[in-house]
């Protein structure tokens, strides 16, 4: 761990305790999207916030050392593609876009509501990574501009 | 059933490009081109298909019944718009193949382009108010990013301005949809139309006002036009031609026609407002064009003026007026796309948009010059090009409807149109040479696209020939003027009856 980047040791220590809670809460919101308030988008936002939390506390290089940014791009596009594919499978099975084609299960249990949980997971993957990517590009672009300004390239 | 695929195919392609073609830009361009061709064939087939289906095909998402679920309605008007979208977008994709040599991040361009087509196809097909709003937002968000695609300060400013104006208009539309929902408890357009027949509430006038301002902002009617001359010229040329040629027509004009004619039953107050605003747009856009020296800005103001003609035709409310309006809508999308592509080719060759630094290009760029002349003559209404026929119909419709003064304005602005296009020709392609050298030759795909569009400027005139008119334009006019058929379809599907 690089002590010089990011925030103070207090923030880093607290972050180590809280970031998993935030991440797991996001997963919970996505998986229980069809039962409780929230869903794919809300859960995805919470997951992306856990990444933002890490980046703020440990500096922007911390995350990049462990994960490639292209992986996030792939998950983002894959999530959206998965949504469309689930919709097309609905056409293949029942003849209508986004129609339900798997068992609806027992009411109020985790395994219920047909394809809606799958769609929530797809949206969660898309929203979570996309929001973090927006944050990431704003952060890197900002330091790029500051660097150029100090070198006198941009007036 | 081909209806949902107009939305699914480009949506799928957009994310497929984002997933697999980030490093391989040729694959991104290939996917976009294939999708363009498929959509083009499908849209023309859909028009043919309608004649065997009593003029309308309905599609319901997820196997639910109509007022509950989102429905897609394919009728002659939707099919007509789909043909315009897919033909112009196919040519714009082909044009971009080599035009984008100067840009980085081609895959982003094509992915955003596909999303824009998704949104526009969705707007043309949807039969649901909230879904209309969502599809408008999808196409607008991609349009904002595409306007800013060059990442220069001027482009970013134009995109920001466009985004602010777009957000205001979308908010107004969303509010009016909310009010409609509070009156009728339904979001299905046909169902709302049916329930409004017995509704005497005055709050409906608030909805009219918000919708006219909201969609008027999107179609750049005159009091709401300030964003267009910034946003359209700043985009890369294929996007300018898509924005001016197709986007404002689908999001603004088509949506207004669909909502006010098919759902609200063409209230008289709407027709009068549109008529007056149309004439003001025509005049202001034309006069502002005369003063421009930036070639793409001139074309931007010219769009405002020509949109005025379309609204003049719609505002008359007579069958002939509507016929002229939709024919001019088709023609304008062809020649304005052509003219923006010409301007893009000139910009590609000279790296400037200032007409004072051009001149004498007709010898250096013969194909660009010839096609630009055809586009200019078409838009100014010179026979035998398509613009002549649509303007003539609108002018005759004005006289028939008892508005000879409006007809006089239309003729006067037509002369002014000729004046500023002659100015453009004189300073760009003829006269003294004011540039030092040509940086790059105009590449193959640019030339081919311009030649195809110039050909369409002549070919589309045949739509007005009796015999062909009855099976094409008249069918679209019937859909607009038939106030009951769109509402009728919902009656057998109502759940329980409210």
pLDDT tens-place string over residues B165-224:
999 999 999 999 999 999 999 999 999 998 888 888 889 999 999 999 999 999 999 888
Exposed, middle or buried: residue B161 (CB in 10 Å: 0-12, 13-18, 19+)? middle
**3-state secondary structure at position B253:** helix
Query: How close, in Å, is residue A63 to chain B by CA atoms?
Result: 22
Q: Pick from A70, A76, A97: which is nearest to B4 by CB?
A: A97
Q: Phi, psi (5° rounding) for residue B294?
A: -85, 125
Please calculate the CA angle A91-A96-A99 and round it to the nearest 5 degrees.
90
Gyration radius (Cα) of chain B, Å: 22
Which chain B residues have a beta carbon less than 8 Å from that of A80? Answer: 15, 18
Q: Does A102 touch chain B (CB under 8 A)?
A: no
Q: What is the structure's pLDDT at B384?
A: 86
Q: Does B19 touch chain A (CB under 8 A)?
A: yes
Banded model confidence at residue A154, pLDDT cuts 50, 70, 90: very low
Q: Specify if B292 maps to a domain.
A: yes
| pLDDT tens, position by position, B42-93 | 999 999 998 888 888 888 888 887 788 888 999 999 999 999 999 999 999 9
| pLDDT tens, position by position, B352-403 | 888 888 888 888 889 999 999 999 999 999 988 999 999 999 999 999 999 9
Mean pLDDT of chain B: 91
Q: Specify if A2 maps to a domain.
A: no
Q: Specify if B203 maps to a domain.
A: no
| Domain around B403 | 267-464
ipTM value for the complex: 0.87
E-only strand ranges, B419-464:
none
Nearest CA in chain A to B111: A77
pLDDT greater than 80 at residue A85: yes
Q: Specify if B87 maps to a domain.
A: no
Q: Does A118 touch chain B (CB under 8 A)?
A: no
Q: Specify if A155 maps to a domain.
A: no
Number of structural domains (chain B) is 1
Q: Specify if A124 maps to a domain.
A: yes
Q: Specify if B316 maps to a domain.
A: yes
Q: CB B12 to CB A84 under 8 A? A: yes
Q: Specify if A79 maps to a domain.
A: yes
Beta carbons of A131 and A45 less than 8 angstroms apart: yes
Number of structural domains (chain A) is 1
Query: How close, in Å, is residue A56 to chain B by CA atoms?
Result: 27
pLDDT greater than 70 at residue A143: no
Q: Is the dihedral of CA B46, B482, B128, B274 positive or negative?
A: positive
Biggest alpha carbon distance in chain A? 65
Which chain A residues have a beta carbon less than 8 Å from that of B1? Answer: 95
Q: Specify if B497 maps to a domain.
A: no
Beta carbons of B308 and B222 less than 8 angstroms apart: yes
Cis preceding linkage at B384, omega within 30: yes
Q: Specify if A3 maps to a domain.
A: no
Q: CB A97 to CB B62 under 8 A? A: yes
Which chain B residues have a beta carbon less than 8 Å from that of A76? Answer: 18
pLDDT greater than 80 at residue B311: yes
Q: Specify if B325 maps to a domain.
A: yes
| Domain around A111 | 9-150
Beta carbons of B305 and B282 less than 8 angstroms apart: yes
Q: What is the structure's pLDDT at B150?
A: 85
Q: Pick from B18, B19, B63: which is nearest to A99 by CB?
A: B63
């Amino acid at each position: 761990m690089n002590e010089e980047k990011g925030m103070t040791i207090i923030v880093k220590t607290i972050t180590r305790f809280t970031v998993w809670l935030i991440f797991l809460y996001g997963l919970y919101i996505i998986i229980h999207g069809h039962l409780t308030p929230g869903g794919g988008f809300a859960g995805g936002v919470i997951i992306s916030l856990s990444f933002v939390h890490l980046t703020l506390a440990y500096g922007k290089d911390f995350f990049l050392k462990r994960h490639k940014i292209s992986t996030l791009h792939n998950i983002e596009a894959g999530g959206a593609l998965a949504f469309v594919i689930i919709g097309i499978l609905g056409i293949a099975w029942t003849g209508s876009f986004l129609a339900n084609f798997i068992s609806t299960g027992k009411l109020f249990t985790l395994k219920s509501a047909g394809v809606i949980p799958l769609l929530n997971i797809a949206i969660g993957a898309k929203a979570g990574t996309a929001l973090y990517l927006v944050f990431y590009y704003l952060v890197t672009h900002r330091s790029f501009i500051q660097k150029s300004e100090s070198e006198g390239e941009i007036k | 059933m081909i209806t949902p695929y107009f939305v699914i195919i480009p949506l799928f392609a957009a994310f497929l490009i984002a997933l697999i073609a980030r490093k391989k830009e040729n694959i991104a361009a290939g996917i976009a081109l294939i999708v363009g061709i498929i959509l083009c064939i499908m849209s023309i087939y859909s028009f043919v298909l309608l004649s065997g289906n009593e003029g309308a095909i309905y599609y319901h998402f997820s196997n639910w019944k109509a007022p509950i679920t989102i429905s897609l309605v394919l009728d002659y008007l939707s099919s007509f718009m789909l043909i315009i979208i897919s033909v112009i977008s196919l040519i714009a994709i082909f044009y971009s193949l080599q035009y984008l040599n100067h840009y980085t991040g081609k895959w982003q361009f094509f992915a955003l382009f596909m999303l824009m087509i998704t949104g526009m196809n969705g707007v043309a097909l949807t039969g649901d108010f909230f879904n209309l709003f969502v599809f408008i937002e999808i196409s607008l968000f991609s349009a904002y990013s595409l306007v800013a695609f060059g990442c220069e300060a001027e482009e970013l400013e134009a995109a920001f301005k466009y985004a602010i104006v777009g957000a205001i208009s979308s908010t107004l539309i969303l509010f009016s949809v909310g009010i409609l929902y509070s009156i009728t408890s339904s979001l299905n357009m046909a169902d709302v139309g049916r329930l409004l027949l017995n509704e005497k509430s005055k709050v409906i006038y608030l909805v009219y006002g918000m919708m006219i301002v909201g969609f008027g902002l999107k179609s750049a009617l005159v009091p709401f036009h300030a964003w267009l001359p910034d946003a359209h010229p700043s985009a890369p040329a294929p996007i300018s031609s898509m924005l001016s040629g197709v986007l404002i027509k689908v999001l603004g004009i088509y949506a207004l026609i669909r909502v006010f004619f098919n759902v609200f039953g063409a209230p008289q107050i709407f027709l009068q407002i549109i008529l007056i605003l149309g004439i003001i747009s025509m005049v202001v856009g034309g006069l502002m064009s005369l003063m421009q020296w930036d070639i793409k800005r001139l074309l931007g103001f010219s769009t405002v003026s020509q949109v005025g003609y379309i609204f003049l035709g719609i505002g008359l409310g007579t069958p002939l007026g509507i016929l002229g309006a939709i024919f001019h809508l088709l023609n304008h999308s062809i020649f304005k796309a052509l003219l923006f592509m010409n301007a893009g080719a000139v910009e590609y060759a000279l790296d400037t948009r200032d007409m004072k630094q051009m001149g004498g290009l007709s010898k250096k760029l013969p194909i660009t010059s010839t096609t630009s002349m055809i586009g200019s003559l078409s838009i100014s209404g010179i026979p035998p090009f398509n613009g002549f026929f649509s303007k003539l119909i609108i002018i005759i419709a004005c006289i028939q409807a008892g508005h000879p003064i409006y007809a006089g304005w239309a003729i006067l602005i037509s002369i002014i149109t000729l004046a500023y296009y002659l100015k453009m020709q004189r300073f760009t392609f003829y006269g003294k040479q004011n540039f030092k050298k040509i940086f790059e030759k105009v590449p193959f795909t640019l030339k081919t696209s311009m030649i195809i569009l110039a050909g369409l400027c002549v070919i589309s005139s045949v739509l007005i020939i009796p015999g062909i008119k009855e099976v094409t334009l008249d069918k679209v006019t019937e859909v607009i003027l038939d106030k009951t058929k769109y509402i009728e379809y919902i009656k057998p599907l109502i759940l329980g009856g409210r």
